[in-house]
């Protein structure tokens, strides 16, 4: 059975999208029956530049992913970029993930999902660094020992559409990032979560859940972002920032928000968790620093790491989440609503651009159900 769900929070968009979405969804299922094609989750994704407003009002340029509203890349501006990008879901019965990527930036991009094999990968892409005027795909060009890899997978050039297919997509929680010049592009915001269950309502074998949430930890260095957006980053004439060795983040975020923004005060949105309800928390670190997610007043049960189910679960009130790591944990609600559990970085990144009090502090909330 095809099962495609989209976890965007904007409920007013939802009904409109569902109608169009269902149209596509049914069409795909039909194709599957007629053509004998494997079931696939398919997404149309833009990558483009935007300005992200930080909690202190400063605007920081970012490059992020956004879903195309009508899946055809025909309408200009038919997408909204977010950092992190939207969570893409691959259904339990989908064997394949297909992403059509439209590049609205001024330089080549590519995609890479850590832990999944890109089936149609015709990369890596090599260039004659630093001129970057010549490229080769696949193996190192024969006899050329100065060429450097610029992209882990095949590139999508500015203005073009590229296709990326992951067949035999494994269940779990995974981080998708740009595969091009990652020291530059990833920190600009080119990352999003990709999730797949083993079956409906089960993250892994014998790991059922009632509700789920995704938590992405990340940081932003506005000086580097500004240099990248202005073209004064890297091995270029007039560079103000030579490399990411100088990374010194000023903003510390969870799901694109810093304390005390409204969204972070209930990072799981409007959710009711009754007594004994199991909340699946998909943790990802899309930043460059190690973070230590910690909760107060309860324990988490850790079930998987990088999409690999542990043989035995482990109870912890905090754990190490290094850069690009994913961890799946279950929080069991010990009482009925309302309750609030702090979830924060035990490495104490509690400032916004050096000013107290802010950064990586959020709450998981269970609200009273609204029966109206």
Partner 1 sequence: MRRKRMDRIGKKIHIWVVVLMGAVFLVSGTGAHGAIVGKSGSTFHLVAKQDVLITSDGDSFIMWGFGIKDDVSGATSRAQYPGPTLIVTEDVPVTITLRNELPAKAGNVSIIFPGQKVTATSRVLGPLTYEAVPVETLPESVDGSATYTFTPSEPGTYVYRSGTMADLQVEMGLVGALIVMPATTPSGGDPAKKYAYNHVDSQYDREFLYLVSEMDPRIHRLVEQNLIGNINFTTYFPTNWFINGRNYPDILAENNVLWLPTQPYNCQPRMHPGEKVLVRFIGGGRDIHPMHFHGNDFETIAVDGRLLSSEPEAGPDLAWQATTIKSIPGQTADLIWTWTGKEIGWDIYGHSPDDPLEPDEYAPNHGKPFPVVLPQRDSVTYGAFYSGSPFLGGEGELPPGHGGLNASGGYFYMWHSHTEKELTSNDIWPGGLISFMIVEHPDVPID
Query: 3-state SS string over 72-88?
Result: CCCCCCCCCCECCCCCE
Could you tell me which residues come within 8 angstroms of residue 174 by beta carbon, excluding any fewer than 6 positions away?
113, 114, 115, 116, 193, 194, 195, 306, 307, 326
CA proximity to 343, closest of 326, 354, 331? 331
Contact window for partner 1 (CB under 8 A) among 38-46, 144-152, 176-184, 341-349: 341-349
Contact window for partner 1 (CB under 8 A) among 154-162, 210-218, 271-279, 313-321: 313-321
Helix (H) or strand (E) holding 344: strand 339-345
- How many residues of this chain bind partner 1 (CB under 8 A)? 34
> Is 41 or 360 the residue whose CB approaches partner 1 more closely?
360
Could you tell me which residues come within 8 angstroms of residue 92 by beta carbon, excluding any fewer than 6 positions away?
3, 171, 196, 197, 198, 199, 200
Applying CB under 8 A, which of residues 235, 236, 239, 296 lies at the interface with partner 1? 296
Q: How far is the CB of 43 from partner 1 (least distance, A)?
A: 35
* Footprint of partner 1 on 318-337 (CB under 8 A): 318-320
> Is 21 or 299 the residue whose CB approaches partner 1 more closely?
299
Binding flag, residue 89, partner 1 (CB under 8 A): no
Binding flag, residue 312, partner 1 (CB under 8 A): yes
Binding flag, residue 209, partner 1 (CB under 8 A): no
Q: How far is the CB of 79 from partner 1 (least distance, A)?
A: 32
> Could you give the strand order of the β-sheet that contains 161-166, starting from the edge strand earlier in sequence?
59-67, 40-53, 96-103, 161-166
> Is 81 or 360 the residue whose CB approaches partner 1 more closely?
360
Binding flag, residue 232, partner 1 (CB under 8 A): no
Which one-letter DSSP state was computed for residue 47? Answer: E
CA proximity to 340, closest of 359, 368, 320? 368
Applying CB under 8 A, which of residues 50, 344, 364, 365 lies at the interface with partner 1? 344
Q: How far is the CB of 252 from partner 1 (least distance, A)?
A: 9
Binding flag, residue 350, partner 1 (CB under 8 A): yes
| Distance from chain centroid for Cα 253 | 13
> Is 24 or 223 the residue whose CB approaches partner 1 more closely?
223
Binding flag, residue 138, partner 1 (CB under 8 A): no
> Is 180 or 187 the residue whose CB approaches partner 1 more closely?
187
| Residue positions counted in the chain | 372
Q: How far is the CB of 311 from partner 1 (least distance, A)?
A: 8
**Helix H segments across the chain?**
11-35, 182-185, 222-230
Applying CB under 8 A, which of residues 152, 174, 259, 283 lies at the interface with partner 1? 259
Burial of 202 (0-12, 13-18, 19+ CB in 10 A): middle
Q: CB atoms < 10 A from the CB of 108, how many? A: 23
Binding flag, residue 249, partner 1 (CB under 8 A): yes
Cβ contact 152:109 at 8 Å: no
> Could you give the strand order of the β-sheet that contains 361-366, starting from the edge strand earlier in sequence?
293-295, 339-345, 361-366
Contact window for partner 1 (CB under 8 A) among 4-12, 129-137, 160-168, 248-256: 248-256
Strand, coil or helix: what is 223?
helix
Applying CB under 8 A, which of residues 40, 353, 364, 365 lies at the interface with partner 1? 353
Binding flag, residue 290, partner 1 (CB under 8 A): yes
Strand, coil or helix: what is 128?
coil
* Footprint of partner 1 on 269-288 (CB under 8 A): none
Applying CB under 8 A, which of residues 146, 356, 368, 372 lies at the interface with partner 1? 356
Residues that bind partner 1 (CB under 8 A): 248-250, 259-260, 290, 292, 294-299, 312, 314-320, 342, 344, 346-351, 353-354, 356-357, 361
């Amino acid at each position: 059975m095809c099962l495609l769900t989209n976890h965007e929070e904007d409920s007013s968009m939802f009904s409109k999208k569902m109608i169009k979405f269902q149209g596509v969804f049914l069409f795909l299922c039909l194709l599957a029956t007629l053509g004998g094609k494997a079931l696939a989750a398919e997404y149309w994704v833009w990558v483009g530049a935007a300005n992200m407003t930080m909690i202190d009002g400063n605007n920081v340029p970012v490059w992020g992913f956004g879903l195309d509203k009508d899946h055809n890349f025909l309408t200009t501006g038919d997408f909204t970029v977010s950092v992190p990008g939207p969570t893409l879901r691959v259904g339990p019965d989908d064997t394949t993930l297909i992403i059509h990527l439209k590049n609205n930036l001024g330089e080549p991009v590519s995609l890479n999902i850590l832990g999944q094999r890109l089936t149609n990968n015709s990369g890596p892409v090599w260039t004659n660094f630093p001129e970057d005027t010549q490229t080769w795909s696949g193996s190192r060009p024969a006899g050329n020992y100065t060429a450097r890899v610029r992209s882990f997978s095949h590139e999508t050039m500015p203005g073009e559409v590229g296709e990326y297919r992951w067949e035999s997509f494994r269940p779990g929680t995974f981080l998708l990032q740009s595969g091009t010049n990652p020291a530059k592009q990833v920190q600009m915001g080119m990352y999003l979560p990709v999730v797949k269950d083993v079956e409906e309502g089960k993250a892994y074998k014998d790991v059922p859940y009632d509700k789920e949430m995704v938590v992405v930890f990340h940081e932003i260095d506005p000086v580097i972002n500004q240099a990248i957006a202005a073209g004064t980053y890297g091995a270029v004439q007039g560079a103000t920032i030579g490399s990411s060795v100088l990374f010194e983040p000023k903003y510390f975020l969870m799901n694109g928000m810093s304390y005390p923004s409204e969204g972070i005060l209930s990072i799981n949105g409007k959710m009711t968790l009754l007594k004994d309800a199991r909340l699946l928390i998909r943790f990802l670190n899309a930043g460059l620093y190690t973070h230590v997610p910690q909760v107060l007043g309860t324990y988490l049960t850790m079930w998987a790491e990088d999409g690999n189910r542990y043989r035995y679960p482990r109870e912890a009130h905090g754990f190490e989440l290094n850069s690009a790591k994913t961890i799946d944990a279950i929080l069991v609600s010990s009482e009925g609503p309302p309750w609030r559990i702090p979830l924060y970085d035990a490495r104490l990144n509690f400032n916004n651009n050096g000013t107290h009090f802010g950064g990586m502090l959020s709450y998981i909330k269970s609200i009273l159900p609204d029966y109206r």
